[in-house]
Amino acid sequence: MAYKVGRGTYGVVNKVRSNRDGCIYCMKKVKCGHLSSQRQKEVMSEVSMLKSMKHPHIIGYITSFMEKHSLYIIMEFAAKGDLGKIYEDHKLRKLHIPEQFLWRVLCELSLALHHLHSNRIIHRDIKIVNVFLDHNNTIKLGDLGVSRVLQGEEEMAESRVGTPLYLAPELIRRQPYHFKADVWALGVLMYTLSALRGPFVGENIYVLGESILHEEPRALPGSYSRSMRDLIRSMLLKDPSDRPTIVREVDVANS
C-alpha cells in the first residue's frame, strides 16, 4: 500500500509498507523514460550517493530497482515529517521556536553536512522541507538529488542548482562555488526558523536575487541568545571566505 507524502527533486515520494518485514519506508518513484541523459545521470547519482552516505543524521538508503522505465528508491521513513510542519505551526500561532530545539537542528545538520563535505559532496539543496524528524525526533537531512561530488581538493562546482530563496550570492553571480554554499543555505534555514520569515524577499526571482546580493537580513528576535544570532549572521556573509566552516558550527553548537 502506498500513500503520497511529498515530492523530491525529480520524483514523487510515497509511504509504503514492506511485504517482507512489515516495516514502513519511503519510496521515491522517478520516471526515467522521458528524462534527458543528463537528468538520468543526476538521478543515478542520487542512488549512488545514498548507498555510501550512511550517517545517523542523513536519511538512510535501503535499496533501489528499475521497473517499466521508472527508478524506485526505497529509503528510511521519517515518521514525524519535515521541518516545514514545525515552521508553519509556529508561524500560524506567532510563537518563536524554542532556542534549544534550534541549536539541536543546527548541530545535527552540521554533523550531517560535515559527513557529506568530508566525502567531497556538496548537498546544494538544503531547505526546510528537506530536513526531517524520525520517531525519536532525530534530525535527518534528505534529498541528495542535486548533490555533487568534488573529486579534487581545489575543484569548484559551477552548475547553478537549488531553491532560489536558499541560493548563495556566488550562485546568483554564476561564479564557481564550494562547500560554503551549503553553509549559506543552512544559515537561510536557521534564520527562517528563528525569524519565522525568510532573510530575503522579492516579488520575482530577479528581485530576490538582487536582495540576496545587496541587502542585509533584518535583525533576529532579541529573545534568542547573542551567540545564536551572531552565528546565523556569520553564515549569511556575502563573501564565502568569511563564512564559518561546518566544523566551526559544530563546535559552537556543542559549546
Residue-wise pLDDT tens digits, 221-231: 999 999 999 99
The pTM (predicted TM-score) of the whole model is: 0.84
**Single-letter amino acid code for the residue at 36:** S
Assigned CATH for 83-254: 1.10.510.10
Q: Which residues of 218-249 are buried (b: 16+ CB within 10 A; e: fewer)?
A: eebeeebeeebbebbbbbbbeebeebbebeeb
The CA-based diameter of the chain, rounded to the nearest angstrom, is: 55
Per-residue pLDDT, 221: 96
Query: Residue 136: is its pLDDT beyond 90?
Result: yes
Q: Where are the alpha helices (DSSP H) in the chain?
A: 37-52, 83-93, 99-118, 169-172, 180-195, 205-214, 226-235, 246-254
Just list the catalytic residues.
125
CATH number, domain 2-76, options 3.30.9.10, 2.70.98.60, 1.20.1290.10, 3.30.200.20: 3.30.200.20
- Of 16-20, 53-57, 181-185, the poorest mean pLDDT is in 16-20
Q: List the beta bridge partners of residue 141.
A: 58, 131
Query: Residue 116: is its pLDDT beyond 50?
Result: yes
Task: Provide DSSP, 78-144.
Answer: -TT-BHHHHHHHHHHHT-PPPHHHHHHHHHHHHHHHHHHHHTTEE-----GGGEEE-TT--EEE---
The closest of 237, 231, 233 to 251, measured between CA atoms, is: 231
Q: List the beta bridge partners of residue 64.
A: 73
- Of 34-48, 79-93, 198-212, 231-245, the poorest mean pLDDT is in 34-48
Q: Percent of the chain beyond pLDDT 90?
A: 48
**Do the beta carbons of residue 109 and residue 9 sit within 8 Å?**
no
pLDDT band at 46 (very low <50, low <70, confident <90, very high): low
| Domains of the chain, residue spans | 2-76, 83-254
Query: Residue 212: is its pLDDT beyond 80?
Result: yes
Q: List the beta bridge partners of residue 82.
A: 132
Per-residue pLDDT, 132: 95
pLDDT band at 145 (very low <50, low <70, confident <90, very high): low
d(CA 108, CA 129) in angstroms, rounded, equals 16
**Do the beta carbons of residue 179 and residue 209 sit within 8 Å?**
no
Contacts of 4 (CB under 8 A, 6+ apart): 12, 13, 14, 15
